Amino acid sequence: MSIPIFLIGLERATGRARLMEQELQKAGLSATRVNAVDCDAATREDFLRDCSSEGPWGYFQTKDMACTLSHAKAWEAVIASGAEQALILEDDVFLTPELATWLDDPSWWPEDADIVRFERWRSTKLYVALGRKRQSHLGREIRLMKSRHPGGAAYALTRKAAQHFLAQKPFDITLDGLLFNPSASAAARQINIYQVIPAMVEQGNEAPGEYQMGSPRHRPKGWPLLRQKIRRGIAEIDGGARTIANLALGRATLEKITYAPQVLPDARPNQTSIA
Q: Quick one: pLDDT at residue 271?
A: 40
In the chain, how many domains are there? 1
CA distances from 45 to 39, 49, 53, 247 (A): 11, 7, 9, 44
Instruction: Collect all residues with Cβ–Cβ distance below 8 Å to 120 and sequence separation of at least 6.
Output: 151, 198, 199, 201, 202, 257, 258, 259
Domain assignment present for residue 261? The answer is no
Cβ of 245: how many Cβ atoms within 10 Å?
13
Task: Let me know if residue 125 belongs to a domain.
Answer: yes
CB 132 within 8 A of CB 253: yes
Percent of the chain topping pLDDT 90: 69
Q: How would residue 207 be classed by pLDDT, with cut points 50, 70 and 90?
A: confident
Measured in whole angstroms, how far is the alpha carbon of residue 81 from the centre of its chain? Answer: 20
**Residue 268 located in a structural domain:** no
37: pLDDT strictly greater than 70: yes
Give the type of residue at 233: G
* Within a domain: 34: yes
Domain contains 40: yes
Give the model's pLDDT for residue 215. Answer: 65
Quick one: CA dihedral 155, 156, 158, 163, positive or negative? positive
Bridge partners of residue 35, in order along the sequence: 9
Beta-strand relationship, 119-120 and 201-203: parallel
Range of the domain at 15: 5-255
pLDDT for 13 beyond 80: yes
Query: Does residue 70 fall inside a structural domain?
Result: yes
Question: Stretch 231-235: mean pLDDT, rounded?
Answer: 68
CA distance 20 to 152: 16
pLDDT tens figures, 153-163: 999 999 999 99
End-to-end distance of the chain based on CA atoms, in angstroms? 18
Indicate which CATH number applies to the domain containing 14. Answer: 3.90.550
Cβ burial 32-61 (10 Å sphere, 16+ → b, else e): ebbebbebeeeeeeebeeebebbbbbbbbb
* Choice between 167 and 228, residue whose per-residue pLDDT is larger: 167
Convert the pLDDT of each residue in 45-103 to its tens digit: 999 999 999 988 888 999 999 999 999 999 999 999 999 999 999 999 999 999 999 99
Residue 30: is its pLDDT beyond 90?
yes
> What's the mean per-residue pLDDT of the chain?
88
Asked if residue 76 is part of any domain, the answer here is yes
In a domain, 267, yes or no: no
Supply the pTM of this predicted model: 0.89
